[in-house]
A and B are shown apart, each in its own frame.
Chain A
Amino acid sequence: ILNVEQSPQSLHVQEGDSTNFTCSFPSSNFYALHWYRWETAKSPEALFVMTLNGDEKKKGRISATLNTKEGYSYLYIKGSQPEDSATYLCAPSRGGATNKLIFGTGTLLAVQP
């Protein structure tokens, strides 16, 4: 069983603030790290799938970095907007037969206008 930890559990910021959250995972036998965004009453949507140590990916105001040797990934949101309010989930994948995706409990972001 993969032990995935996300912090903080929840975050309240003002519109325009920049913020970041952390996903920690076992570094052994790492294969890929997924980030998803889950808005209330909708389905989770993929943000990034990252595989390379040191990789950085960006989509608009959202970016993510990956450190596979120490087992963590950061998700950054620059200039938060109310529409960014959602739960942000990460899920690491290991190689081989045990390659199912196990999600962390997520970081709930609330952006106040």
Chain B
Amino acid sequence: GAGVSQSPSNKVTEKGKDVELRCDPISGHTALYWYRQSLGQGLEFLIYFQGNSAPDKSGLPSDRFSAERTGGSVSTLTIQRTQQEDSAVYLCASSLRGSNTGELFFGEGSRLTVL
């Protein structure tokens, strides 16, 4: 497909386990974002990749969270030792030109439930 693809769409895990969420952006898009939406909350910025620049990790809530983007394409968000407060929908978005003028295209999200 031509859109942003995220997997898994749903993930249920036990507290303390590690999880990996994957994002496959639109081909050719240089910018990639991770956001999350916790229950009743808005879109919370997590991390931003732009081309070959160092990622902006300022939104990651703790050192249990990390993300990488391999080859400027696919990105993986890893949450170690998951906690119940990590339960949320994790959204990935990509953009052709970066956030200044390029609109973001969002995936359908990965819903994480930590029991």
Contact = CB atoms under 8 A, between A and B. Distances in A.
Contacts of A42: 108
Give the dominant DSSP class at B's interface: loop
A98 B53 CA distance: 12
B91 to A, nearest CB: 7
Contact of A43 (B45, B58, B108): B108
B99 interface: yes
Contact of B42 (A45, A49, A51, A89): A89
B91 A49 contact: no
B42 A44 contact: no
Contact of B99 (A99, A105, A106): A99
Interface residues of A, number: 24
Interface string B31-64: 0010100000111010010100000101100000
A106 B35 CA distance: 15
B43 A49 contact: no
Interface of A is mostly: loop
A102 B59 CA distance: 10
Interface in A77-102: 89, 91, 93, 95, 98-102
A31 interface: yes
B45 A49 contact: no
Contacts of A51: 101
B110 to A, nearest CB: 12
Nearest to A45: B106
Given A34-B104, A101-B45, A103-B45, A43 B99 contact: no
Contacts of A102: 45
A98 to B, nearest CB: 8
A31 B45 contact: no
Nearest to B103: A46
A44 B105 CA distance: 8
B42 A101 contact: no
A104 B42 contact: yes
Contacts of A106: 42-43
Nearest to B89: A43
Given A31-B101, A46-B104, A95-B100, 18 more contacts: A32-B100, A32-B101, A34-B104, A43-B91, A43-B106, A44-B91, A45-B106, A49-B102, A93-B100, A98-B56, A99-B50, A99-B98, A100-B45, A100-B48, A100-B99, A101-B33, A101-B48, A101-B104
